Amino acid sequence: MSFRDLIEGMHRKDACIRGGALAGADGLAVEEWQTPPQSLDLSALCAEMAQLFKESERIAGEHGLGSAGEVCLGGDRGTVLVRRVTEDYLLLLVADPAAIPGKCRFQLRECARRAKEML
């Protein structure tokens, strides 16, 4: 099983999940997958969200929340969730606005656990 298979598997379980990627903490995408038509720029999104995750890490630490484990960004046309897999890797998920956030978070957490086992 590849990381791409893990990401595609999330979509098979919930059609509202449009795509995702495994990225290094530096924001470089290692593996990505998305539903056709491929309209998401996952590489750019990984880079931007890795920076946001780093900033969230700083904020969480400064306010006594511990280390950041997950960040969620909701927009009018979709939601992006990012979860730490290891110190060096992040998992990103993009979902439709109709997606159920809790279900997406659960899928992301399970996928991150399996990805960690593969690294």
Q: Where are the domains of the chain?
A: 3-118
Task: Give pLDDT, residue 37.
Answer: 85
What mean pLDDT value characterizes the chain?
A: 93
E strands, 10-113, are 17-24, 29-34, 70-75, 78-84, 89-95
Task: Give pLDDT, residue 1.
Answer: 82
Task: Give pLDDT, residue 38.
Answer: 83
pTM of the model: 0.91
Q: Beta-carbon neighbour count of residue 16 at 10 Å? A: 17
User: What digits encode the pLDDT tens for the residues 64-102?
Assistant: 999 889 999 999 999 999 999 999 999 999 999 999 999
- Domain 3-118 in CATH: superfamily? Dynein light chain 2a, cytoplasmic (3.30.450.30)
Q: What angle separates helix 101-118 from helix 3-13, to the nearest 10 degrees?
A: 160
- pLDDT of 25 higher than 90: yes
- Of the CA atoms within 13 Å of residue 93, those in its CB half-sphere come to 35
Task: Give pLDDT, residue 3.
Answer: 86
Task: Give pLDDT, residue 46.
Answer: 96
4 backbone dihedrals φ, ψ, rounded to 5° = -60, -40
Distances (CA, A) of 97 to 34, 75, 86: 16, 8, 28
